[in-house]
Structure 1
């Protein structure tokens, strides 16, 4: 039995006979009058796909970086950064120890005033916006990459993450990096690529243990599109997950793996779009746009799994413990930005008028 016999969804990039393609994405590219000019233009767009989002994110995030005093939720980070090394290891839940060690070392090098402690978060969000742009450009088109990166940078929740000395921004960056490194694994799962992906998984778990729910989305993609590499993917993902599990220890309760949350109920679910994206209208708009990024046979399925599968996993955990929190799903926001950009990029005047 081969992949085609058991595949949940068709392979990435495969042309399918008899399947409707309403967006014209399988159409062959039109011939260019000047190949050199087209290549130069494409190169400029590829640079813009990561540069423009990085500049916007840096400007929006850096504007409020110097707000006086630790904000709500930053107190633990500030105490870990200003205390001795033993206290930095003992302060707060075990899953936060790697972040607190990082911030203690950062404070030793650059100081511990609130603005300085927020710089790692700002840098992480700038990197995430740039990498999202490059990822969407790689999966779809350079113009889509520009839109995706700018959408992520413009979201209020991205600005908030960039201005807070908390581990969420680093987890967002690590999630984008892991997904970026998943693509070459799906293509050709060589040892070097698998090792790079495994390192990104370790980084993701050290930044935010609950963000390892992303592996459920990645696993779905592997089973759907490249089932033949499932064993090698699992071998790459498992060490990172096991390393984090060893750090956390078997005695940690489920609610120690996620940000403080609530038991699942209709009110908590209804408040999620507003808290996750910064405004309920933005959440509804991105969800609506995401519907137009389908069909799932396109690479948009990767971002669909990234956006939805971890949320479903958290929903299952929240049925047994009070862990439902939009903050636990911040690492999925880049996926929503890419899906929204894909939908917007499909609005073509010429096609709409035909």
Structure 2
């Protein structure tokens, strides 16, 4: 065979080198950075959710049912005509939750574990949204730290293991705030309608938690006044069904929420009741100070943490509604502020504070 008829395959080493001058190097570096940032944003919500799930599932059936859980079980095992009575009378605030648990029990049974699973799932979702919210308004590092703080708090674990509506209200509060941020930046129906849905969910889970809207309203008036009318329209859309339900129940003698009138001793005990131990409240309050100044991002959670508490305090002067459980929906705000503060610290300092929070949380749950 002649040389001209012979096919010569080039060796790999003879291949022309692409981009010999390194012109694509910045683009490849940007692509790697974007991929890494995307992974950190995923970790910011995924890891807190996994941690909450693990801590909440551990010993979920160890405690005996509380009085509130016994009421939930009675509702979950009653007949459908009987459960309808929960929408009026003294149970007005618990009626929608009891209806939900009645449907849940029809599918999964009314054992302690089955009735507590919705609360566990709600807290897992809340932890994921805490991480996602902190990552959205600050950095993925803030999301990881804030989500971890929320996950290890004794009250997060406790209410993840109780068949009561508080965990669902926490989830709805975080969801509403998470949806508020993009809705205020681009206030179209595509974003405001889901926000209205979250407001509706919050009101059905825990009517007194609608005090969150006072915090949202402060943010709108302080930073996004031009969208106030559209925000208010979304709020009204979410509140109409809740208002109709509450009006019917209150007219029949029901009450908005259970609690006490806030004396000095009650107020002093609130941080310990709200966070599981008073020292944790002190740590989170200190971290919140380091998340200032009150720029838009940090102010969202500052208003969420403080304005509803002040509103409940004012409301409690007229009716006995003050309790830590009625303020549980503000706990994620403190966790986000703590995460934002830790994201600004050095790694060693942030790890030390997270270890302190975890240590205090574990100590609070040890039998005394």
TM-score by shorter chain over 0.5: yes
> What is the 5 A alignment of 1:68-217?
69-91=64-86, 93-217=91-215
Q: 1:193 Cα shift?
A: 1.0
**Aligned residue number for residue 256 of structure 2:** 257
The CA deviation string for residues 170-226 of structure 1, in whole angstroms up to 9 with x for no partner, is 000000100011011111110121111111100010010001000000000000111
Distance 2:73 2:241 in 1: 26
Distance 1:165 1:85 in 2: 19
Distance 2:84 2:181 in 1: 36
**Aligned residue number for residue 235 of structure 2:** 237
Q: 1:255 Cα shift?
A: 8.2
**Aligned residue number for residue 308 of structure 2:** 310
The CA deviation string for residues 51-99 of structure 1, in whole angstroms up to 9 with x for no partner, is 1001100000001222364233211101000111122222451121110
Point out the structure with max Rg over C-alpha.
2
Aligned residues: 320
Q: Is the 8 A contact 2:92 2:254 kept in 1?
A: no
The CA deviation string for residues 276-325 of structure 1, in whole angstroms up to 9 with x for no partner, is 00000001110111111111124000000000000000000011111110
**Aligned residue number for residue 5 of structure 1:** none
Q: Which runs of 5+ in 2 are unaligned?
A: 1-25, 350-368
Report runs of 4+ in structure 1 exceeding 4 Å deviation: none
Distance 2:347 2:139 in 1: 17
Q: Which runs of 5+ in 1 are unaligned?
A: 1-30
| TM-score normalised according to structure 1 size | 0.87
SS at match of 2:320: coil
The CA deviation string for residues 221-248 of structure 1, in whole angstroms up to 9 with x for no partner, is 0001110000000000012223211101
The CA deviation string for residues 29-72 of structure 1, in whole angstroms up to 9 with x for no partner, is xx999222222211111111011001100000001222364233
**Aligned residue number for residue 39 of structure 1:** 34
Distance 1:40 1:120, change over 3 A: same
Distance 1:240 1:345, change over 3 A: same
Instruction: Say if 2:65 is the partner of 1:67.
Output: no
CA RMSD of aligned residues (A): 2.0
**Aligned residue number for residue 43 of structure 2:** 48
Higher helix share: 2
| TM-score normalised according to structure 2 size | 0.83
Distance 1:89 1:165 in 2: 19
